[in-house]
Amino acid sequence: MTILIEQPDLDSRAEDLQKLSSDINELVLDGGFVVPKSSVSCNGLEAEELVSNNAFLAPEINSFGRLFRDYDAENERQKSVEEFYRLQHINQTLDFVKRMREEYGKLNRVEMSIWECCELLNEVVDESDPDLDEPQIMHLLQSAEAIRKDYPDEDWLHLTALIHDLGKVLLLPSFGGLPQWAVVGDTFPLGCAFDESNVHHKYFKENPDHSNPAYNTKYGIYSEGCGLDNVMISWGHDDYMYLVAKENGTTLPPAALFIIRYHSFYPLHTAGGYKHLMNEEDTKNLQWLRVFNKYDLYSKSKEPIDVEKVKPYYLSLIEKYFPQKIRW
């Protein structure tokens, strides 16, 4: 079943979004550095096999011209962010992404419901973010509840917010214990030139793809307007959760899958790079992603949510859009 949705009425929301924007300047963006309680290895896929350096850094993910809170450790954190992006830009290659998609596309690790995964993510805390010393589920529910308030009729969007970061389980040992650079951070296309819109662009020089003539032109292996669906994006929690949702036959609309898959694609949705790869459908879906993105950030300053109180509503949405048990 395909759920049809209307495009967002951006004009009527303009006032709200303007308010959100002014608040965003004070906020830490979607960092989401989930730190596993213990580390590494699972299902024969050792982190060491996947990466050249499996150090678990704790960078602030929200670089790329986004503002930091004014606190003592800011300089140190900015250095960590830069080191994070250095590792990410060197290690995310087209070959790496293909291997990750193939390996995780098997969805042979565990069977559990969406809510069970929320609770699993709840066990770990983002230790790198001084403002987020609370369980991840709070961020998910705060984003979802904030959107629900402003878009009460778009229940698919509420659920999208709830599940958008579930792919961070990749950091957990039972999901392969991937290093931070293979799970979080801004995402970007592989197989074509690294656009200047990428934060800390200079570190791509050390990426093997950078000197590969098949991959280092504007279009590389792609063609104009080919559509993002045909583009290989750096591996992380976004693409993994997209795979999980799609392969398990979710009935969420295309815009929801687009949001899940590209919510960390800041070079596109915030910096305006890579537009030449988009098709018409991407352009439509991007409107919803921009709506979602505001709440992903804004909700981080919200008060705690009574999980038990809102749980029945979200369980009903999960039941509406997903099978009971899904493969991860």
**Footprint on this chain of Fe ion (rule: CB under 5 A):** 30, 32, 165, 296
Closer CB to Fe ion, 30 or 145, in the complex: 30
In whole angstroms, the minimum distance from the beta carbon of 263 to Fe ion comes to 5
Structure tokens at 65: 């011209």
Residue 296 assigned ligand-binding role:
yes
Closer CB to Fe ion, 161 or 278, in the complex: 161
Residue 186 assigned ligand-binding role:
yes
Closer CB to Fe ion, 215 or 292, in the complex: 292
Other beta carbons within 10 Å of 325:
13
Residue 264 assigned ligand-binding role:
yes
Secondary structure class of 233 (helix, strand, coil): strand
Residues 6+ apart with CB under 8 A from 305: 138, 141, 142, 145
Letter string b/e over residues 113-138, b meaning 16 or more CB atoms within 10 A of that residue's CB: bbbebbebbeebbbebbeebeebbbb
The residue number whose beta carbon is nearest to Fe ion equals: 30
In whole angstroms, the minimum distance from the beta carbon of 210 to Fe ion comes to 26
Secondary structure class of 5 (helix, strand, coil): coil
Residues 6+ apart with CB under 8 A from 40: 46, 47, 48, 54, 173, 177
In whole angstroms, the minimum distance from the beta carbon of 271 to Fe ion comes to 17
Q: H/E element holding 73? A: none
Closer CB to Fe ion, 156 or 222, in the complex: 156
In whole angstroms, the minimum distance from the beta carbon of 30 to Fe ion comes to 4
Residues 6+ apart with CB under 8 A from 315: 115
Closer CB to Fe ion, 215 or 298, in the complex: 298
In whole angstroms, the minimum distance from the beta carbon of 84 to Fe ion comes to 15
Closer CB to Fe ion, 129 or 209, in the complex: 129
Residue 165 assigned ligand-binding role:
yes
Q: H/E element holding 189? A: strand 189-190
Residue 126 assigned ligand-binding role:
yes
Residue 237 assigned ligand-binding role:
yes
In whole angstroms, the minimum distance from the beta carbon of 296 to Fe ion comes to 5
Structure tokens at 96: 């790496």
* 295 contacts 19 by C-beta, under 8 angstroms: no
Question: Per the annotation, where are the binding residues for Fe cation?
Answer: 139, 164-165, 237, 263, 296
Binding-site residue ranges for substrate? 69, 126-128, 168, 185-186, 263-264
